[in-house]
Amino acid sequence: MSCGKYSVPVAILASMKSASRRRRLVPKTTVAAAVVITLLIASAATAAVFVGHSRLVEVPDVGSIAWEDAEKAIAEVGLTAHQAGTRVSVEVPVGHVISQDPAAGVNLKPGQTVRVVVSAGPQTFVVPDFIGDPIDIATHSLEALGLTVVAVPMASDTTDAVVLAMYPGPGSSVSPGDEVRLSVPGESSASDILLPYDLSGLTVLIDPLPSPADVSADAPMEIARRLQALLEAAGARVNTTTTGTTAPASPATRIEAARASSASLLIGIDLGGTGDPGIKVGHLPQEDGSARAESSALYATSITRAANLPGLIVSEPAVTNDPVLAAFPGTGIRVVVGDSAADTDRARFTDPAWADQVARAIYRGIGTAFTAQ
């Protein structure tokens, strides 16, 4: 083959095009591979994140439940429960959870630990003996223990500012927040004095409703006994709806006793259960304007006023639809002397001085109303 003047340039150009084609094939393959690898890495990372999140578990709420139940609830979601300690608590029962860390709702990896603090129950301690000690020292010392101190004046031959008596007494077990009453020298309130009422001719039927099963002291019965003694000492004739046995009278027995009674006045004594503390006196409805209803309201108001004493919570008289009062043909009232669901009242139910104070207040109210009619 002969070479013309254009043969060399044409050959060189052809060679350059061929090389250019070869050079472009490599970068395209490399880029494609890099893209594929990048996508695979991103997918793997995303999958790892999703898998990681899908394996997190939520910490359950175990507040206020028993430690055994809390431990089980935490284990059920794949976490480990650890009792981090105990703490004194008046509100949370012994062995129940006071706090947890982490808090409920936090996400953890399976196997991680939830620390739980358990209640050791209320701290109980023995009441120190401050009888005969100065009142201010006894008060400050008891308050420093977290107790509530109430000073009650009582008649005494001494004028020294010392503690004459304590309730609960020295050596009794108490918890922070409990009330301790200190009897101190001083004159009793004028409204607390027992006047010599003449209740001759008054016949009274007392209807004490038994305390609930979860209340250890039968406060209505204790007050009824004291009230009966006071009324009989003043000349009244007194009967009760109780059967005289250890078993409490049934509602039907009490209603029948009230219906068949010839007494002129029925005094019901009861405990509330709403959590609202204090003394409440109920009377018959006033719609009919009868003398029986008016007399019921008079006795209720008189007893309410007589019970307005330091240390006692007293509500205004109110209408009651008590079935025993409704069955009774004469004047009837019902005195709720305290509330079994109120801690402040329950603490008093075993206190004989409180029972005596309430019985005396009911007695004074009856005496005032009877002599006013």
> Per-residue pLDDT for 267 more than 80?
yes
> Per-residue pLDDT for 25 more than 60?
no
Query: What would the two tokens of residue 31 be?
Result: 């880029």
Query: What would the two tokens of residue 288 be?
Result: 């009919």
> Per-residue pLDDT for 186 more than 90?
no
Q: Note the residue count of the chain.
A: 373
Judging by DSSP bridges, how do beta strands 57-58 and 148-154 pair with one another?
unpaired
pLDDT at residue 191, rounded to an integer: 52
pLDDT, tens digit, 9 for 90 and up, residues 223-261: 999 999 999 999 999 998 875 544 567 888 889 989 999
Query: What would the two tokens of residue 284 be?
Result: 């018959």
Residue 34 or residue 274, greater confidence? 274
pLDDT, tens digit, 9 for 90 and up, residues 137-185: 999 999 988 888 988 777 666 667 888 888 877 888 888 778 888 888 8
> Could you tell me where the DSSP H helices lie in 55-178?
67-76, 135-144
Q: Is the entire prediction scored with pTM above 0.75? A: no
pLDDT at residue 140, rounded to an integer: 93
- Rg of the chain, C-alpha, whole Å: 41
Q: What Cα–Cα distance (Å) separates residue 159 from each residue in 185, 189, 250?
A: 6, 17, 50
Q: How confident is the model at residue 213 (pLDDT cuts 50, 70, 90)?
A: confident
pLDDT at residue 146, rounded to an integer: 84
CA–CA separation, 180 vs 364, rounded Å? 26
CA–CA separation, 111 vs 81, rounded Å? 9
Q: What Cα–Cα distance (Å) separates residue 216 from each residue in 82, 239, 340, 346?
A: 38, 25, 10, 9
> Could you tell me where the DSSP H helices lie in 96-218?
135-144
Contact 98, 92 (CB under 8 A): yes
CA–CA separation, 107 vs 54, rounded Å? 11
pLDDT at residue 232, rounded to an integer: 92
Instruction: Give the SS3 label for residue 84.
Output: strand
pLDDT at residue 1, rounded to an integer: 44
CA geometry: angle at 207 spanning 199 and 309, to 5°?
A: 65
Query: What would the two tokens of residue 68 be?
Result: 């055994």
pLDDT at residue 44, rounded to an integer: 59
Contact 62, 117 (CB under 8 A): no
Q: Which residues pair with 104 in a beta bridge?
A: none
pLDDT, tens digit, 9 for 90 and up, residues 334-371: 999 999 998 888 888 888 888 888 999 999 999 999 98
Largest CA distance in the chain: 162
pLDDT at residue 195, rounded to an integer: 66
pLDDT, tens digit, 9 for 90 and up, residues 1-19: 444 544 445 454 455 555 4
- Average of per-residue pLDDT values in the chain: 82
pLDDT at residue 34, rounded to an integer: 67
Q: What Cα–Cα distance (Å) separates residue 334 from each residue in 54, 80, 284?
A: 65, 57, 9
CA–CA separation, 173 vs 294, rounded Å? 47
